[in-house]
């Protein structure tokens, strides 16, 4: 009899105490707002900096003369598991009269890309890198298919 009454009140005591311990933890953060680490995205878009190795979409590097390093060797195409990269090549005749393979279009299907990053180490001339852009949403599906070499761009001298 006495034991059951004792148990009844001790249960209430432990219950209230356990709830108060939990409240203490949450209450701590009410009075210490500096410990909260929430980022206000998209308000902080300007100062938001991704890490160097972050794997966003694939981009082709161009220098100030609108020249890239891609030789059209299709190594990235072979390394890609999903058929994301499609290279349409063309032939160029240089001054010596020799035929040389160049890229016409470097087509990148973002909708098929899994950002695995296997194409980057596969490239022998480091022509492509993964950018830090992670906002891929577009309103039209056709916009996801991109041509990475800029119009009128050429291959850099000395890249074979």
Partner 1 sequence: MNELKTGLETQEYFINMGPQHPSTHGVLRLMLTLDGEIIKNVEPHLGYIHRSIEKMCEKDQYRMIIHLTDRMDYLSCHINNEAVCLAIEKALEVEMTDRIKVIRTIIDELTRLSSHQLWWGVMGMDLGAITSFLYGFRDRELITDIFEETCGARLTMNYNIPGGLMFDIHPNFQKRTKEFITHFKKKLPEYDDLLSNNVIFKQRTQGIGYLSKEDAISYGVTGPSGRASGFSCDVRKLEPYMAYDRVDFKEILSTEGDCYARYKVRIAEMWESLSIIEQLIDNIPEGDFQVPTKKVIKLPKGEFYQRVETARGELGVYIVSEGKVSPYRVKFRSPGFSTLSAMNKMATGFKIADLVAIMSTIDLVIPDIDR
Binding site for partner 1 (CB under 8 A): 14-15, 18-19, 21-22, 24-26, 36-37, 50-55, 79, 81, 114-118, 121, 130
The three state secondary structure string of 46-102 is CCCCCCCCCCCCEEECCCCCCEECCCCCCHHHHHCCCCCEEEEEEEEECCCCCEEEE
The sign one gets for the Cα dihedral 53, 56, 62, 68 is positive
- Closer to partner 1 by CB, 53 or 99: give it: 53
CB of 77 to partner 1, least distance (A): 13
Structure tokens at 87: 């290279």
- Closer to partner 1 by CB, 22 or 92: give it: 22
- Closer to partner 1 by CB, 37 or 93: give it: 37
CB of 154 to partner 1, least distance (A): 29
CB of 2 to partner 1, least distance (A): 23
By CB atoms closer than 10 A (0-12, 13-18, 19+), residue 129 is middle
CB of 148 to partner 1, least distance (A): 19
Whether 55 contacts 113, CB under 8 Å: no
- Closer to partner 1 by CB, 26 or 65: give it: 26
């Amino acid at each position: 009899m006495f034991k059951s009454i004792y148990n009844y009140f001790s249960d209430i005591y432990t219950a209230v105490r356990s709830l108060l311990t939990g409240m203490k933890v949450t209450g701590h953060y009410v009075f210490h707002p500096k410990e909260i680490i929430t980022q206000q995205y998209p308000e902080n878009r300007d100062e938001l900096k991704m890490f160097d190795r972050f794997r966003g979409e694939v981009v082709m590097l161009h220098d100030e003369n609108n020249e890239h390093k891609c030789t059209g060797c299709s190594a990235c195409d072979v390394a890609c598991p999903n058929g994301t990269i499609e290279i349409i090549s063309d032939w160029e005749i240089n001054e010596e009269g020799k035929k040389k393979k160049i890229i016409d279009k470097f087509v990148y299907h973002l909708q098929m890309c899994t950002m695995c990053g296997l194409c980057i180490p596969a490239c022998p001339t480091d022509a492509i890198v993964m950018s830090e852009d992670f906002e891929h949403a577009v309103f039209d599906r056709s916009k996801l298919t991109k041509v990475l070499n800029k119009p009128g761009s050429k291959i850099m001298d000395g890249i074979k």
